[in-house]
């Protein structure tokens, strides 16, 4: 047999040769450093046989930044964690331990609870295993033998996994620990140069809240200590920027068990919220959207018609009427069914199209408690939602308009969008021909606009494909922001039509569009992206004036009045000037003006967030502030400029 190497050369091998055999045939150093093989684009354990004629790439310890090389390193690290925990805590039951983005976890059923303080002991035991040396061996056994083995070891979670596993059953062993696993794994533990346990959490077995809650231990591993140190520094910076901490520090919002997953917005947080709402309304008007308002409650039939009952019921909050006991109602989790009903309330003409409905409405989604995370995952959600009803011929221009709108919004926040085309999911409504058209329309719009994109197969909505917009924050984390979806299904299901120029009825297409996404989530992301130091135009307090003494209070308040319409506070508390300056820094106020005997309209003592100081006149200061409002700073950007 032969395989093809990355440089295009053929490598002759004996029939049944493995990835490790291929590495040895190239050279002993490569074989020693090999951690994984990519065979025909898929990752494969070095111990498995290669197929004749397939292209291969052997990854080594030198590929320390490759996601697949990190994947196998962290997978093996998770197994070392399980070995250590079994040794330290007799009677513990092991569940699953996969690699994840930035690390790995393993779920355990401990006989007695453990705490964060136990992680140091567990980590030391794993490092001892690495120092002593571990090698991984792989074997395939029958399902019956695997079941018998794990029953004898009193490992009920492994028994359940054996019973539900598809395909061959394989085991990996290192030291005195054997695990049910498909792999891949390292040859040995030598490449694991840096290992760290990072936290504890509760996790339901198989993600089902009806199952027992297990203890999840998180960790990470790297090929070098420098890479681990850099990661831990990013982790510490992420903690410093955590929007839940900053939300309290900056007096923006808080969360309460009185209403789980539903933020309580404080006055300063509402300044940010209202600024985004004003931006949404202003830009929607400029682009021909009309504001509408639809009910919060709908009957069950509405969601059966829309398709959400069959595809989204687990996330719907149901409400029982005191009067109509045989009729279920639900709090709306999205606006689209209401907008369908609104469009269908009148006879529509092709002359009215495109019809652009916009609504920023309260939505409720019954997210499981364990998935809630500050503002980033909530039960109470508000979207900058819109639905565009258009003809087939208008689709491309409307998609162009949505893309330009998204680009403009993200530019305001200095965010760079990345585009992803999500295609038909397995669970969907509509014919393949309809999906071929809607997917093709979105793909064509992206390509005609010259936008680079990646395809996310199978991640579309149940009613249509979508363009998802992602951004990367200052910590290198990727976030999905907006979405643009093309729907040929819901208009049909609601019986929507418009009268065409041919005097015949036609079914419209609908573009579902939310560009900021959830306002709650967007504010959470912005808070972490900026570390609470919001751009001037959305900062809750834009200018704070500090009168030096009692005699300067009147002048300070007079100055504040003359800085309207900017958001100005006067801090005339009894604290020292130094303490009040420090408070402004902690609260990340963009500009602080210290007003004493030397200050006047001709010369103000202005301190900028970040340390800059200047002495502009009042007129110069106002001119400077005006330049910080983005819609006054220049022309609107577009994807074609």
- Is the separation of the CB atoms in 82 and 72 below 8 Å? no
Exactly one of 44, 174, 383, 489 is catalytic; name it.
Answer: 383
In 343-360, which positions are buried (b, 16+ CB within 10 angstroms) versus exposed (e)?
beeeebebeebbbbbbbb
Q: Token digits for 374? A: 């500050």
Candidates 63, 118, 385, 487; catalytic one: 385
Within 10 A of 361 (CB to CB), how many other CB atoms are there?
Answer: 17
Q: Which pair of structure tokens corresponds to residue 608?
A: 């900028």
383 is catalytic: yes
CA distances 309 to 314, 332, 485, Å, are 9, 12, 19
Strand, coil or helix: what is 160? helix
User: In this structure, are residues 449 and 398 in contact, taking their beta carbons and an 8 Å threshold?
Assistant: no
- Residue 18: CB atoms within 10 A of its CB come to 17
3-state secondary structure of 351: helix
CA distances from residue 478 to 375, 413, 488, 530 in whole angstroms, order as listed? 16, 15, 30, 15
Q: Is 336 a catalytic residue?
A: yes
- Catalytic site residue 109? no
Catalytic, 2? Answer no
What whole-number distance in Å separates Cα of residue 342 and Cα of residue 568?
42
Sequence-distant (6+) residues with CB within 8 A of 504 are none
512 is catalytic: yes
Which residue among 196, 216, 365, 513 is the active-site one? 365
Considering the candidates 74, 93, 243, 512, report the single residue annotated as catalytic: 512
Q: Are 333 and 365 in contact (CB under 8 A)?
A: yes
DSSP conformation class of 605: E
Q: How many other C-beta atoms can be found within 10 angstroms of the C-beta atom of residue 184?
A: 23
Q: Which distant-in-sequence residues (6+ apart) come within 8 Å of 422 by Cβ?
A: 456, 458, 459, 460, 461, 465, 466, 467, 468
Between CA 81 and CA 416 the distance in angstroms is 38
Catalytic residue among 387, 506, 580, 588: 387
Q: Which residues contact 466 (CB under 8 A, 6 or more apart)?
A: 421, 422, 442, 460, 483, 484, 485, 486, 512
DSSP assignment letter at 188: B
As beta bridge partners, residue 470 has 418, 480
Task: Dig out the tokens for 252 from the structure.
Answer: 């923006």
Q: Of 466, 552, 567, 580, which one is the catalytic site residue?
A: 466
Q: Give the DSSP letter of residue 17.
A: -
Q: Which residues contact 487 (CB under 8 A, 6 or more apart)?
A: 336, 438, 461, 463, 464, 509, 510, 511, 512
121 annotated active-site: no
Is residue 75 part of the annotated active site? The answer reads no
In what helix (H) or strand (E) does residue 255 lie, and over which residues does it extend? none
10 Å CB burial of residue 593 (0-12, 13-18, 19+) is buried
DSSP at 631? G
Q: In 3D, which of 632, 637, 612 has the Cα closest to residue 566? A: 632
Q: Which one is catalytic: 336, 348, 571, 572?
A: 336
Which residues does the annotation mark as catalytic?
Answer: 336, 365, 383, 385, 387, 466, 512
């Amino acid at each position: 047999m032969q395989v093809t190497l990355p440089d295009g050369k053929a490598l002759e091998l004996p029939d049944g040769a493995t990835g490790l055999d291929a590495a040895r045939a190239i050279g002993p150093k490569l074989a020693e450093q090999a951690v994984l093989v990519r065979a025909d684009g898929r990752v494969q354990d070095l111990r498995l046989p290669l197929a004749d004629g397939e292209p291969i790439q052997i990854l080594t310890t030198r590929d320390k930044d490759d996601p697949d090389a990190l994947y196998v390193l962290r997978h093996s690290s998770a197994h070392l964690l399980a070995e250590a925990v079994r040794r330290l805590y007799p009677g513990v039951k092991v569940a699953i331990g996969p690699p994840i983005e930035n690390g790995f976890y393993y779920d355990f059923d401990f006989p007695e609870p453990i705490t964060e303080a136990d992680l140091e002991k567990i980590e030391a035991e794993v490092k001892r295993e690495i120092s002593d040396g571990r090698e991984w061996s792989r074997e395939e056994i029958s399902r019956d033998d695997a079941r018998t083995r794990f029953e004898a070891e009193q490992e009920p979670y492994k028994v359940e996994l054996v019973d539900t596993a598809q395909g061959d059953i394989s085991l990996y062993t290192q030291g005195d620990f054997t695990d049910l696993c498909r792999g891949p794994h390292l040859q040995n533990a030598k490449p694991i140069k840096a290992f760290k346990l990072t936290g504890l959490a509760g996790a339901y077995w198989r993600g089902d809240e009806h199952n027992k809650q297990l203890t999840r231990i998180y960790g990470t591993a790297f090929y070098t200590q420098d890479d681990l140190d850099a990661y831990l520094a990013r982790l510490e910076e992420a903690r410093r920027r955590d929007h839940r901490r900053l939300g309290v520090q900056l007096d923006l919002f808080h969360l309460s068990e009185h209403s789980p997953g539903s933020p309580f917005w404080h006055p300063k947080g509402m300044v940010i919220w209202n600024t985004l709402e004003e931006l949404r309304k202003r830009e929607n008007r400029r682009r021909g959207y009309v504001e509408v308002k639809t009910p919060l409650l709908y009957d069950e039939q509405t969601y059966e018609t829309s398709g959400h009952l069959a595809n989204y019921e687990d996330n719907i909050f149901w409400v029982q009427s005191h009067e109509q006991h045989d009729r279920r109602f639900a709090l709306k989790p999205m606006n689209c069914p209401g907008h369908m009903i609104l469009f269908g309330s009148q006879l529509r003409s092709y002359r009215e199209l495109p019809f652009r409905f916009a609504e920023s409405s309260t939505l409720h989604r019954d997210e499981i408690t364990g998935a809630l995370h500050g503002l980033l995952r909530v039960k109470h959600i508000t979207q900058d939602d819109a639905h565009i009803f258009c003809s087939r011929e208008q689709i491309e221009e409307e998609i162009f308009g949505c893309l330009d709108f998204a680009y403009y919004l993200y530019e305001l926040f200095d965010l760079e969008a990345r585009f992803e085309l999500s295609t038909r999911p397995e669970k969907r409504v509509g014919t393949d021909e309809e999906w071929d058209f809607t997917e093709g329309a979105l793909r064509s719009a992206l390509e005609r606009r010259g936008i680079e994109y990646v395809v996310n197969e199978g991640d579309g909505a149940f009613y249509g494909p979508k363009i998802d917009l992602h951004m990367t924050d200052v910590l290198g984390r990727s976030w999905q922001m907006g979405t643009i979806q093309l729907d040929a299904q819901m208009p049909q299901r609601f019986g929507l039509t418009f009268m065409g120029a041919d005097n015949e009825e036609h079914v419209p297409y609908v573009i579902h569009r939310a560009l900021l996404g959830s306002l709650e989530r967007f504010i959470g992301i912005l808070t972490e992206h900026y570390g609470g130091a919001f751009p001037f135009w959305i900062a809750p307090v834009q200018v704070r004036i500090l009168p030096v003494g009692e005699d300067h209070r009147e002048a300070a308040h007079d100055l504040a009045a003359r800085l309207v319409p900017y958001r100005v506070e006067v801090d005339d508390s009894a604290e020292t000037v130094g303490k009040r300056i420090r408070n402004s820094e902690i609260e990340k106020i963009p500009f602080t003006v210290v007003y004493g005997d030397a200050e006047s309209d001709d010369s103000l003592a202005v301190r900028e967030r970040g340390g800059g100081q200047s002495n502009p006149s009042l007129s110069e200061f106002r001119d400077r502030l005006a330049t910080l409002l983005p819609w006054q700073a220049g022309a609107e950007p577009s994807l074609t400029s």
